[in-house]
Structure 1
């Protein structure tokens, strides 16, 4: 009896916690509508910039003609060797991708969100140059996906916390 009363009281308290789903309403919800109104600008940075733009465009589901906001992104891709052996050969590398992004309201030109995202990965340097290069490229592909997820997650929170104008 006491246990049932405790669970009932706990259930009553949890309903007033104020949590609500970010993607409530599915594809017609406020967050999804907001994300589809963001146009990703071209991103400098060669292959990494191209990968980042493709990942963001895929996640945002941008549509032509419905661009209330524009997303400006600057990508920094760094590959650093460490784990140096006695003969000065590098045995391990770290690839780091950082992105500074700004969400700009097209109507006013005002920057409404300015933030950064980033991730890194370790890469073993092996005797085969081809294998090492493939590992570096795979790391770049994976890291751009991770950083794009971080950016879209932050944009979703912004959309969820900002009243619709």
Structure 2
């Protein structure tokens, strides 16, 4: 019991010394949150693009004049994986990949050029309606995952860029 108490008291000190810093320090008024609020999302083609764009706008929660633009190009693909004896597909993989660029609106410079992506498995059943519904559900889920990856990478860039600008 005594060891547990000592560990509980020393663990916060050890974590502070390891160099880890909270990404969203300061909450909604912190540096990273302010940088994310200044990003506008450019139009993205397709249904997946509409889903990703809405997810990004929800996560950025911009409210002022944009300082940056996020351009995203999606690659949405469904491939058959398993084949039954009658040569019909038994399982599909839906892949959603995004290439995105963060652009400074004042200089038109590309600040960040990266990719994000995820996959989902889909069982192909006897009902075509059920298979289409599963494909659509997978796209909705993948759109949120890809948007989270993009926001995380942009937030990390914003934090590192602010730290470099401050001379840390």
- Match in the other structure for 2:91: 92
**Mapped pair 1:105 → 2:104:** yes
Over 3 Å counting, the alpha-carbon distance change for 1:148 and 1:10 in structure 2 is closer
TM-score by length of 2: 0.89
8 Å CA contact retained: 2:49, 2:74: yes
Q: Which runs of 5+ in 1 are unaligned?
A: none
TM-score by length of 1: 0.90
Q: For each residue in 1:29-51, what CA deviation from the matched residue of structure 2 results, as whole angstroms up to 9, or x when unmatched?
A: 0010000000000001x111111
**Mapped pair 1:78 → 2:72:** no
Deviation at 1:141, TM superposition (A): 0.3
8 Å CA contact retained: 1:31, 1:159: yes
Deviation at 1:16, TM superposition (A): 1.9
- Match in the other structure for 1:127: 126
RMSD: 2.0
Deviation at 1:17, TM superposition (A): 1.8
Q: Which runs of 5+ in 2 are unaligned?
A: none
Number of aligned residue pairs: give it: 162
Whole-angstrom CA distance in 2 between matches of 1:20 and 1:138: 36
